[in-house]
Amino acid sequence: MPPMLPATRSDEPRLSDVLPSCLAAVTSEDNRLGLPAVSKAVVVLVDGLGASALRQRTGHARFLASRFFKKATLVSGFPTTTAAALASLTTGASPGQHGLVGYSALVPASQRVANQLTGWAADMEPSVWQRRSTVFEHATAAGISAMAVGPRRYESSGFTDAVLRGAHYLAADSISERFEVARSVLDRDARSISYVYVPELDMTAHAHGWQSDRWTHLLEELDSAMQSFVRTLRTDEGVLLTADHGVVDVPQTSQVLFGTDAQMKGVVHVAGDPRCLQLHLESDISADTRQTVLDAWRASEGHRAWVLTRDEAIDAGWFGEVADAVRPRIGDIIVAAAKNVVYYDVRKPHDPSRRMIGQHGSWSSDELIVPLLRFGAFER
């Protein structure tokens, strides 16, 4: 196994603590984040807003920066990709338990690699594929209103059904409109837990990079909308702002192409993310061939990536405790970028994702560490 494997400490606050702690605050129970008791809690999830990027753009987000103290961060979790992270947020569980182990993953029953954000089909029943109950389901069972506010295009997706089940989805297409809807929920319900999703920064980072002017302008828009919303909070209303992962900008010159040599002998499926490949091998591959493929990847990429077997990654705790049903969804070999590179299959020359600048999925602190900003009653 390669030396110096990355890992997170069990005592660090994590993204998976956020919604369970908010529900505990509404039910006046102790919680991992130490939140005080409230009647209503709101979690604002800004897709792709890493702590490092926010720290470097505080001049464009002065309101958010006013709550961005040294320890106002938490660990997203591995892999640092939306499908896995949002499922951890809404269930309080690790990918090894909820089952969404990457941007794309192998569906063992059909031997299909599925995009876990948009590629849902009959072989991925949301209530089965995502294996854990959500915080929203626990809230509604306790008589607490549970709401999710996000863009209309996500309202009826399989991913929404999987990770937001138990919440009533309220569609709002602009950032400011989502905060208006969240305010209306606070005004209407005596006890509530709400989730507000802001995907615009991540989408812009993918297309133009988080260091682009377009990304900065969206951060300014978010900062202004958040400030206006927080001004309306009453004494029993608490708000947290966090993110699912951060982003690194990767130039085209740092794209690593694979697919034509001994690295791919016996590889039948490529899943995961460009910064965290998950390679699935033929089920009947010999032990010698399996080792040859692993050795080829380590020889080629060991200087800029962690190359592990599935068992090594599980033993290192990368996916948390892994259920037996989830294990085959994880690649036989994992290639997680340690340097500022991404991996693309040369056999797919017209892959549109090769135009992306902003990337995420692996272990860099820019991807892994996200803000945790407290507002309203949660500032106490």
pLDDT above 50 for 116: yes
Instruction: Report d(CA 369, CA 371) in Å as an integer.
Output: 7
User: pLDDT of 319-346, one tens digit each?
Assistant: 999 999 999 999 999 999 999 999 999 9
Burial of 213 (0-12, 13-18, 19+ CB in 10 A): exposed
pLDDT above 70 for 202: yes
The CA–CA distances, whole Å, from 11 to 8, 75, 116, 313 equal: 9, 11, 29, 20
Average pLDDT of span 182-200: 98
DSSP structure class, residue 14: B
Sequence-ordered list of residues with C-beta below 8 angstroms from that of 223, at least 6 positions apart, any chain:
60, 61, 62, 63, 64
Instruction: Report d(CA 150, CA 172) in Å as an integer.
Output: 6
User: pLDDT of 80-96, one tens digit each?
Assistant: 999 999 999 999 999 99
What SS3 state is found at 105?
strand
pLDDT above 60 for 136: yes
User: pLDDT of 12-51, one tens digit each?
Assistant: 999 999 999 999 999 999 999 999 999 999 999 999 999 9
Instruction: Report d(CA 332, CA 311) in Å as an integer.
Output: 8
Q: How confident is the model at residue 224 (pLDDT cuts 50, 70, 90)?
A: very high
Q: Could you tell me if 46 and 198 are in contact, meaning their C-beta atoms sit under 8 angstroms apart?
A: yes
Within 13 Å of residue 306, how many CA atoms lie on the same side as its CB? 22
User: pLDDT of 271-290, one tens digit each?
Assistant: 999 999 999 999 999 999 99
DSSP structure class, residue 351: -
pLDDT above 60 for 306: yes
Q: How confident is the model at residue 10 (pLDDT cuts 50, 70, 90)?
A: confident
Tokens standing for residue 287: 């032990």
Q: How confident is the model at residue 262 (pLDDT cuts 50, 70, 90)?
A: confident
Q: What is the pLDDT of residue 345?
A: 95
Q: Please, what is the Cα angle at 282 between 275 and 3, to 5 degrees?
A: 45
DSSP structure class, residue 341: -
pTM above 0.95, yes or no: yes
pLDDT above 70 for 2: no
**Beta-strand (E) ranges in 14-144?**
40-46, 73-75, 104-107, 112-115
Sequence-ordered list of residues with C-beta below 8 angstroms from that of 206, at least 6 positions apart, any chain:
247, 356, 357, 358, 359
- Domains assigned to the chain: 15-249+363-379 (3.40.720.10), 252-359 (3.30.1360.110)
Q: What is the pLDDT of residue 3?
A: 52
